[in-house]
Amino acid sequence: MGLIETNGIIIKEMPYRDQDKILTVFTEKEGKVQCIARGVRRPKSPLLASTQVFAYSELVYYPGKTFGNIQQAHLIESFYALRNDLNKMALGSYLLDLISNSFEVYQESPEILKLLLHCLFYLSENKAKNDLVIVAAFQMKLVSFLGYRPGLTACMGCRKETDLSYFDIEGSGLICGNCREADHYTYRIEPELTGFLKDLLAYPVKQLKNMEIADELVIKAMDILEHYISHCIGKASKAYSFYKDMKNLTL
Ligand SMILES: [Zn+2]
C-alpha cells in the first residue's frame, strides 16, 4: 500500500525511544490511526508543532501493520489558545479523550471529526456564551452517533409521556417513577434539565454556542452524559475525572 495523505488531529502522544513519538491521530480518510513520528522530540524538529496534541495537520504516512510511519506533517491549526487556559485545555482534552476511547482503530467519521474541530475552535476562540455547553453538545452528539441516542420523550419502561423524573443509565433514557429499577443507576432529573438535554439533541452546535445557561445545570447534564457514555462504551474518561478534580480544587 502506498503513502496515505490525509488531514488529521493528534488526539494522543506518547514518547517512544529517545526522540520519537507514538501518535494517535483522528484522520479524515482512515479514522483513528496510530503512527510513529521519528525524531520529533528533537528541539529543532521541523515536525514539532504539527505532531503535538491538538494539532490539526496535513499528514503523509506509510501505513503499517500496527503503526503508520509519518513522513511529512504540515500544521493547519494548532488551537494554540487552548494551551494557555487550563480550564479550556481540560475541556478540550476531554473531547479528545472521548474520541480516543470510543473509536476503534480505522473506525472513521468525517462528520465527528468536523464536529470536533468546530467544538475546539469555539472553545479556543471564545465563541461560546458558555464553554460547558459546547462540551455537553459534543457528548450528546457523539453518543448518538455511536448508536446510543438516549430516549427523552417517553418513559423507556412503559412509554408514558408524563412524570419522566429520572434518567436511567442502563435504560438509555428517561423513565417514570413507576418504572424505576432498584438495580439501575438513575439520576433524578428536573424539567429544566430534560429541556436542556432535548436542546442538545435538537440543535446544531453552531446554535447551541449562543445559549446562555447556568453552569450548574450544564454540569449536571455533563455528569449524566459522561456516566451514560462510559456505560455505553465500557470505559470512563480519565480526562473527565481530571477536569472534575481540578474544578473542585478551585471552587
Ligand atoms: Zn414508566
- Which pLDDT score, from 0 to 100, does residue 250 have? 67
Q: How far is the CA of 139 from the centre of ligand 1 (A)?
A: 25
Q: How far is the CA of 224 from the centre of ligand 1 (A)?
A: 19
pTM, rounded to two decimals:
0.96
Q: How far is the CA of 177 from the centre of ligand 1 (A)?
A: 7
The CATH architecture annotation of domain 83-250 reads Up-down Bundle (1.20)
**Mean pLDDT across the chain, nearest whole number?**
96
Q: How far is the CA of 166 from the centre of ligand 1 (A)?
A: 10
Q: How far is the CA of 186 from the centre of ligand 1 (A)?
A: 13
Give every residue of the chain whose pLDDT is below 70, as ranges. 1, 250-251
Burial 113-134 (b: 16+ CB within 10 A, else e): bebbbbbbbbbbeeebebbbbb
- Which pLDDT score, from 0 to 100, does residue 177 have? 94
- Which pLDDT score, from 0 to 100, does residue 249 have? 78
Q: How far is the CA of 170 from the centre of ligand 1 (A)?
A: 14
Segment (H or E) for 187: strand 186-188
Q: What amino acid occupies position 8?
A: G
Question: How many angstroms from the chain centroid is the CA of residue 120?
Answer: 10
By DSSP bridging, strand 68-77 and strand 31-37 are parallel
Q: How far is the CA of 179 from the centre of ligand 1 (A)?
A: 4
Q: How far is the CA of 156 from the centre of ligand 1 (A)?
A: 6
- Which pLDDT score, from 0 to 100, does residue 169 have? 98
Q: How far is the CA of 208 from the centre of ligand 1 (A)?
A: 30
- Which pLDDT score, from 0 to 100, does residue 248 have? 86
pLDDT per residue as tens digits for the range 103-153: 999 999 999 999 999 999 999 999 999 999 999 999 999 999 999 999 999
Domain with CATH 1.20.1440.120 in the chain: 83-250
pLDDT per residue as tens digits for the range 10-32: 999 999 999 999 999 999 999 99
- Which pLDDT score, from 0 to 100, does residue 55 have? 98
The CATH architecture annotation of domain 4-78 reads Beta Barrel (2.40)
Q: Quick one: which of 18, 31, 84, 41 has its CA closest to 49?
A: 41
Q: How far is the CA of 161 from the centre of ligand 1 (A)?
A: 8
- Which pLDDT score, from 0 to 100, does residue 1 have? 67
From the number of C-beta atoms within 10 Å of its C-beta (0-12, 13-18, 19+), residue 149 rates as middle
- Which pLDDT score, from 0 to 100, does residue 245 have? 94
Q: How far is the CA of 232 from the centre of ligand 1 (A)?
A: 22
Domain with CATH 2.40.50.140 in the chain: 4-78
